[in-house]
Structure 1
Amino acid sequence: MRLPRPRGPLSARLRHLLLDGDGPLEELDRTAEDRAAAEPPATVLDDHDLQLSLWMIYELSFRGFEEVDDRWESAPEVAGLRAVLERPFEQALRDVTEGWVNRALGVDGDVAEQVFALAEGFDEGPDLSRFIRRDATPDQVRAFLRQRSIYHLKEADPHTFVIPRLTGPAKAHLVELQYDEYGGGRSGYLHHELFAVTLREAGLDDAYGAYIEEADAPTLAGSNAMSLFCLHRRLRGAAMGHLAAFEATSSIPCRRIAAGLRRTGFGDTAARYYDEHVEADAVHEQLAAREICGTMVRAGDVTARDVLFGAAACLVLDSHQSEALMAQWDSTDEQALEAAR
């Protein structure tokens, strides 16, 4: 994968640094500091320049970029910039999830019951999976797959960073869950490989990062939240809460999306990725919420609030991604109607 084109002064200066190894570092730091200080938290999630910059920095810890030296991952300049950008991003996530977290904490029962109650009671944003099942056009399904490819082509990788940060039963259960995500050790069955098949069957490019140029700010924010949680030991509770909410809200939507893929003519092979998640995630939600999050909270390793912060962030960001995509389609439909008049 190659570096994406910049979306503003911050990502432009970061790109210059990664490619040329020099440049106005003080100006880059000042740009990041000014952005972090001036931008209201509510707008951080929609700041394409900031989210792309943070995504580029995180990606150095995953597949990297063809033209960038791998040593930049731990370079002091990059680490400092990452910390500056993470502060407003984390604060924005805390701000938009606070009400949901407080509501979930009021639910009787352990943290697993609170996660499930949060997932069941979350009612913000459009139901994208229902729209795909019933109404989406083939082009809209392809647009959905392109956006989702930003995460699904590295599916499970962020949460794997958490394994060495856990101990005992929670660690064992996370390994168990991740083993399934990686296809039970069978090449070709890894979930990100199954998603690559879906892309190919839809006539799309299955290369890692192929659609980063199309990724909108909400999509990048969703990916960045996982990296933020999973690359920081202090946020391991949020990382596992995110995982629990992700699994708890996946099975039924995946069934609908699989039906939508078949309805729009992409067929069984394209739907296989989603078919796999219908049953797998029904099991994984119990593992993640009860055996991982529940064990961690009972042991005093993390708090219920830590877990619920990650869970609520997963739900809010997924809703935000759905809203952005549906709004884009509504705008396209309106433009088409106007052109037809």
Structure 2
Amino acid sequence: MGSWIAGYDSGVELPSPRGPLSERVVAALSGTPDGRVIEFVPADPHGEDLAIALYTLYELHYGGFTGVDPAWEWDPELLRLRSHAEGVFLARLRSDVEGGDDLDAALEALLVEHVPGNGVSHHLRDHGTWDQMCEYFAHRSVYHHKEADPHAWVIPRLRGRAKAALVAVEFDEFGGGRADRMHSRLYADLLEGAGMSADYLHYLDDVPAPAIAIVNMMSLFGLHRSLRGALVGHFAAAEITTAPSAHRMAQALTRLGADPRCAEFFTEHIEADAVHEQIMRNDVIGSLLEQEPSLRADVVFGIQATELLEARLADHLLSSWDAGESSLRTRLRWLVSQNG
């Protein structure tokens, strides 16, 4: 058993700690589960330390880390620590959004396209540089390497039409049964086309908290049955807002003369997510709330939390670029392609 664990190779190394909480997490995972108490260390809900600590803990439910004993996934002490961290993160999310149960207003707000737009995709389309585009790719890699995986956890928690409709959307996300068309694979192709590393989570140490927090939210919602409504709200928000931004990203890549593999990821989403929007809104959310009307406020919360964290990432990117600075924590570890 011990030799098998020592030889376990997921292809992903433990990330570098960013504070006392993540130091405890990484130190624990470097050993073997022995029942020892792992004390929680208070951390900023939106800070680097809590973000990477939670991401590391959640990764145990995905592919794990090289040399880390798989038994850590369900270690009671590590789960207790994760519960503390989740409580801090979730409480801040709830306090930072408006809340309420006006679902129609929350959904309608997602459909509003401000003119002129001033978001990240607008910036990259109109005057973003290739370096900024590659930084954006690195930020999004910690999400798109997983793509629809966190959403899959909600499937056994839904029933009837809501379940069937969500599975239909997931089927498309996973390539319709074709491995080469899985959206996570298309993102890896995008990275290769940009001359960047396509290795799973290669840029995790480079990416700051705002991008990591989005994936932590997805994992949090997906792993907790009590947050199934929030996960559905998040998924709907992602599908509704993707098609317009994907169109702008495709235009940006054309302007920059990028490898066609870069644009393919976005062009795939333009048509698919326009269809997914209607499925999520009418079949998934509609059916879910027919069955469980008490989840309406949770769906609204999922939408609002998604918009909150996406806005925080956008603010970070645009403020960094406006100041002439990198939006990443470290110099990007990629080989400049012919597009550079």
Give the CA RMSD over aligned residues.
Answer: 2.0
Matched, 1:318 2:310: yes
In the other structure, the counterpart of 1:214 is: 206
The whole-number CA distance in structure 2 between the counterparts of 1:271 and 1:329 is: 22
The whole-number CA distance in structure 2 between the counterparts of 1:30 and 1:211 is: 26
C-alpha distance after superposition, 1:152-180 (max 9, x if no partner):
01100000011111111111111111000
In the other structure, the counterpart of 2:39 is: 29
The whole-number CA distance in structure 1 between the counterparts of 2:222 and 2:113 is: 23
C-alpha distance after superposition, 1:259-317 (max 9, x if no partner):
11121121322100000100000011111121111111111264211101001111111
The whole-number CA distance in structure 2 between the counterparts of 1:68 and 1:232 is: 24
The whole-number CA distance in structure 2 between the counterparts of 1:171 and 1:115 is: 22
Q: How does 1:190-269 map to 2 (within 5 A)?
A: 190-269=182-261
Matched, 1:6 2:7: no
The number of aligned residues is: 313
Whether contact under 8 Å (2:230, 2:298) holds in the other structure is yes
Structure 2, unpaired ranges of 5+: 1-11, 327-340
Instruction: Go from structure 1 to structure 2 and tell me whether the alpha carbon gap of 1:30 and 1:309 turns closer, same or farther (over 3 Å shift).
Output: closer
Whether contact under 8 Å (1:115, 1:289) holds in the other structure is no
Runs of 4+ off more than 3 Å: 22-26, 120-123
What letter is aligned with 1:53?
A
Shift of 1:328: 1.9
SS in 1 for 2:151: helix
Shift of 1:326: 1.6
In the other structure, the counterpart of 1:75 is: 75
Matched, 1:119 2:143: no
Matched, 1:273 2:261: no
What's the TM-score, normalizing by structure 1? 0.87
What's the TM-score, normalizing by structure 2? 0.88
Instruction: Go from structure 1 to structure 2 and tell me whether the alpha carbon gap of 1:22 and 1:173 turns closer, same or farther (over 3 Å shift).
Output: closer
SS in 1 for 2:111: helix
SS in 2 for 1:44: coil
Larger helix proportion, structure 1 or 2? Answer: 1
Instruction: Go from structure 1 to structure 2 and tell me whether the alpha carbon gap of 1:256 and 1:121 turns closer, same or farther (over 3 Å shift).
Output: closer
Instruction: Go from structure 1 to structure 2 and tell me whether the alpha carbon gap of 1:213 and 1:194 turns closer, same or farther (over 3 Å shift).
Output: same
* Range 271-280 or range 295-304, more displaced: 295-304
In the other structure, the counterpart of 1:305 is: 297
Q: Percent identity?
A: 38
What letter is aligned with 2:258?
F
Instruction: Go from structure 1 to structure 2 and tell me whether the alpha carbon gap of 1:23 and 1:164 turns closer, same or farther (over 3 Å shift).
Output: closer
In the other structure, the counterpart of 1:55 is: 55
What letter is aligned with 2:107?
F
SS in 1 for 2:324: helix
The whole-number CA distance in structure 1 between the counterparts of 2:318 and 2:48 is: 18
Shift of 1:251: 0.3
Q: How does 1:9-158 map to 2 (within 5 A)?
A: 9-21=20-32, 26=37, 28-31=38-41, 34-35=42-43, 43-45=44-46, 47-97=47-97, 99=98, 101-102=99-100, 105=102, 111=103, 113-120=104-111, 126-158=118-150
In the other structure, the counterpart of 2:176 is: 184
What is the aligned counterpart of 1:282 among 266, 274, 284?
274
The whole-number CA distance in structure 2 between the counterparts of 1:30 and 1:138 is: 41
What letter is aligned with 2:301?
F
Shift of 1:119: 1.2
